[in-house]
Amino acid sequence: MFPVAGPVAGCREIEGSAMHRRKFSPWPYLLIAPALITILAVVFFPVLNAILMSFQSYDLRRPSQIRFTGLANYATAMHDPLFWQALLKTVIWVAVGVGLQFVFGFMLALLLNRKFPGRGIVRSISLIPWVTPGVLIGLMWRWIFDGNYGVLNDLLMRLGLIHDKIPFLAQQSTAFPSVILTIIWQGIPFFALMLLAGLQGIPEELYDAASVDGANAFQRFFLITVPSLKNTIFVTTLLRIIWVANSVDVIFNLTEGGPAYSTQTLSVYVFNKGNTLNLGYASTMAILLALALALVAVPYLKKLFKAQEESR
């Protein structure tokens, strides 16, 4: 019997030969090699190194005592009250910080989506907090909050809201709200910008049709605007959660985690430990922070992908 000849067999033959050529062609690998090697060198290797260090007593103040200690650093973290306090601070820092960034960012995006004279200038100005480096933001707000010469105290006193100056960053009760206020100020333009881009992609006809059907502004917002921006909201929020949780620069330049550890989030604690050269313990807490973020990010992304699949 001869093999069956025909279109199907011919296609298989063509596909087979194409696959054969793709399989053995080195070009794709050579082309992605530079990017792959770079990623391995600057991302994979440091992460791997951090994981390895987290299992060692890697303290450069005692280099002769560096050795494998298994899960000892993880056990230390579980019994370290500062670790748990920093974790709780991180949750509050992210929830309140990102939450209010989103709310005010959305409000700003809706405002900037309207047509009014000078809109371009207002849009540009509103980006200033986002393009300002975190270190500069920390220093700037440190002076704004200053208990002796700060402009915030001056304003509040002139408005008659306070009678004595408040040492915002020197009191445990006011230091943490102050740093959260700073991060909110910094992050609003990011949400505003991303949501504004999303808003401009919503067809005007949808609003027109809804208005014809008698939908009020509230209904138009929750039944058209929000669902249309669902993917943008998902992605931007996830990005900000990760960035804010990992953020060190603003807090460090405002308070260095003080007073009395009251503004020490987990990333600041990692930074402080790393600064004192206890790299093993710093790596352990960094890994735990990454795992905690993964716990948030993975279900979040799954839900996002599922929603995207359903919308197709």
Partner 1 sequence: MKRKLVFILMTVLSMAATVAVSAQQKPVSIVHWYWADNPAYSAQMQKIAADFNATNGKGIMVVAQEYPWDGGAYSETLFRAVMGGGGPDTSSFKLTSTPLFTANRLLANLDDFLAKWKDKDKIEPSLYDTMKKASGTKSVYVMPWNTQVLYVYYRPSLFRKAGVSVPKTYAEFLEACKKLTMDTNGDGKTDVYGFGMRGAKGGQEPWGSFIWARGGNFDNLATPQAIQGMQDFIDLYRNGYAPPTAPMDGFNEIIANFKSGKTAMTVHHIGSSIGMVDTFGDDVDAFPFPGGVGQWTSMGDTENILLASSKNKEAAFEWLAYLATGKGQEAWCVATGNVPVSRDVQQLPFFQNNRFMKVSIEGAPYAGIFPILDTTTEWINTIWPNTVAAALGGKMSAADAMKQLQIGLWGK
Residues that bind partner 1 (CB under 8 A): 60-64, 146-149, 164-165, 167, 169-172, 255-261, 272, 275-278
Residue 21 or residue 61: which is nearer to partner 1 going by CB? 61
Buried/exposed code over 83-113 (b: 16+ C-beta within 10 A; e: otherwise): bebbbebbeebbebbbebbbebbbebbeebb
CB atoms within 10 A of CB 159: 8
Buried/exposed code over 265-286 (b: 16+ C-beta within 10 A; e: otherwise): bbbbbbbbbbeeebbbbbbbbb
d(C-alpha 89, C-alpha 143), whole Å? 23
Place of tokens 């530079």: 34
- Least separation in angstroms between residue 111's CB and partner 1 is 36
Q: Which residues contact 97 (CB under 8 A, 6 or more apart)?
A: 180, 183, 184, 187, 244
Extract the runs of DSSP E, i.e. beta strands, from the chain. Answer: none
- Least separation in angstroms between residue 96's CB and partner 1 is 22
- Least separation in angstroms between residue 173's CB and partner 1 is 8
DSSP secondary structure letter of residue 56: B
In the three-class reduction of DSSP (H, G, I as helix; E, B as strand; rest coil), residue 159 is classed as coil
Residue 99 or residue 147: which is nearer to partner 1 going by CB? 147
Residue 81 or residue 118: which is nearer to partner 1 going by CB? 81
- Least separation in angstroms between residue 268's CB and partner 1 is 11
Residue 162 or residue 197: which is nearer to partner 1 going by CB? 162
Q: Which residues pair with residue 56 across a beta bridge?
A: 68
Residue 164 or residue 204: which is nearer to partner 1 going by CB? 164
DSSP-assigned states of every residue in 20-31: HHHHH--HHHHH
The sign of the CA dihedral 28, 29, 34, 39 is positive
In the three-class reduction of DSSP (H, G, I as helix; E, B as strand; rest coil), residue 59 is classed as strand
Q: Which residues contact 110 (CB under 8 A, 6 or more apart)?
A: 199
Residue 85 or residue 113: which is nearer to partner 1 going by CB? 85
- Least separation in angstroms between residue 88's CB and partner 1 is 16
- Least separation in angstroms between residue 65's CB and partner 1 is 10
- Least separation in angstroms between residue 309's CB and partner 1 is 46
The sign of the CA dihedral 49, 53, 54, 55 is positive
- Least separation in angstroms between residue 75's CB and partner 1 is 18
Residue 64 or residue 216: which is nearer to partner 1 going by CB? 64
Residue 148 or residue 311: which is nearer to partner 1 going by CB? 148
